[in-house]
Chain A
């Protein structure tokens, strides 16, 4: 790769989301906007190697996308095409000729970007489609990169993207930021997508590799962008806080052979103090808003409790148990119940924890390896070693992660 090609790639990474967002505002269709942006990228690859990268590459790409679309639409013979296509193209042409992107104010660009986030994460789309579209249009990732991140084939991802864009077009989803009650309704879907990307990086669900830092960083970047665009939403800051603090443990989460190291066994000296501070600051922003903490904010508060303990034995388990109690109130789930039982076990002894654990409706956690592994842990502490061993073995059989299985088998004393 030449220097210019690499520079173009860097510019694309920085500019593509804003470019697509600005174009989508004009034409009302993210799929079409993406094609137009790609077209401008092709032009840049032709021109910039000889002319050099322009001073304001974002404005250049936008002007080029616009002009090339106008030229193409004027050139195309309309009589050969379906009436609805002609009508659409006329609308696009009209919008293009009237729009003045260079004059767009900063908050308009921010609004476009926010609209793009909400469109990519539209509840009409499946979770997988939302994730792929967000990484593609907001992260500027290639289909190949998305495929390798999610251990899927390139054609699967390509198809998923095509279908998602088609679904948005056919449903005539307006390109806009939802307001009022609709915003409250749709924000969770956006936060879910970002956290899914983070978790895919944080604990790969399959395969050998335990942490894929790139995906974590990308999710953090998207979260921070969202926090700048929607600063009045406590859950946005809550999610950013949660991700920053979880990411702070990345270097401590693997042993020398890549095996996972549990939170309480981690070498806390390896936790990244900068990310902890950033996480705490994001949590403070959430707490400063009038609304109470939501599920992400509460999870962040729990993570902050762990981060505040210099040694594992200094952990304020009573506070953590109370935060989990609050979490079961606003966001009840068997997983939260499980974590609460573990925290209660730490705060008030393994018998109290086990009692809570036995109350959980296990049907919802039938294939969840952390349930037998938590039970095993409590049984071990109560000196019930045989029962603990069989629970650890059961957990090992359930996990899809090779490294995790090794750890569980070691705790069962099997390997």
Chain B
């Protein structure tokens, strides 16, 4: 099973300026994940102010704006993609993150097999084009 762990640093749209110690602790944690053979991928994201949003109307019409999708306080700051044997194992790994004043959301990745058959067929039909 694979899980996405989304980091919400709770700094909203401001710059996230971690101390050198915090960065060192975080890279030790990432190293632990790697050594445990669990880490598949990870990335940190720039603040949402640097990004943009594409909104789709009911008719599919698009509007592009600069900045985040919503003014919510919690925005994703980065993610880990890990392999784990259960949700509890993923939660246990998340709880070992040397983080302060933030949240990590753990979500299971949907694999191809988890889709209903008709959806799988639709995907297959598309890919063979």
Contacts and interface: CB of A to CB of B under 8 A. Distances in A.
Contact of B83 (A221, A228, A229, A270): A221
Given A225-B35, A269-B124, A270-B112, A10 B88 contact: yes
Contacts of B111: 251
Contacts of A186: none
Interface residues of A, number: 27
B21 interface: no
B88 A9 contact: yes
B112 A224 contact: no
B124 A267 contact: yes
Nearest to A269: B127
B63 interface: no
Contacts of B121: 256
Interface string A269-282: 11000100010000
Interface of B: 1, 34-38, 40-41, 81, 83, 85-86, 88-89, 91-93, 111-113, 117, 120-121, 123-124, 126-128
Contacts of A229: 35
**Main SS at interface, chain B:** helix
B35 A269 contact: no
Contact of A11 (B35, B92, B128): B92
Contacts of A224: 34, 37
A224 B82 CA distance: 13
A221 B83 CA distance: 8
B128 A267 contact: yes
Contact of A14 (B34, B92, B113, B117): B92
A217 B37 CA distance: 10
B114 to A, nearest CB: 10
Given A217-B83, A251-B111, A267-B127, A14 B37 contact: no
A274 B38 contact: no
Interface in A228-249: 228-229
A14 B93 contact: yes
Contact of B86 (A10, A256, A267): A10
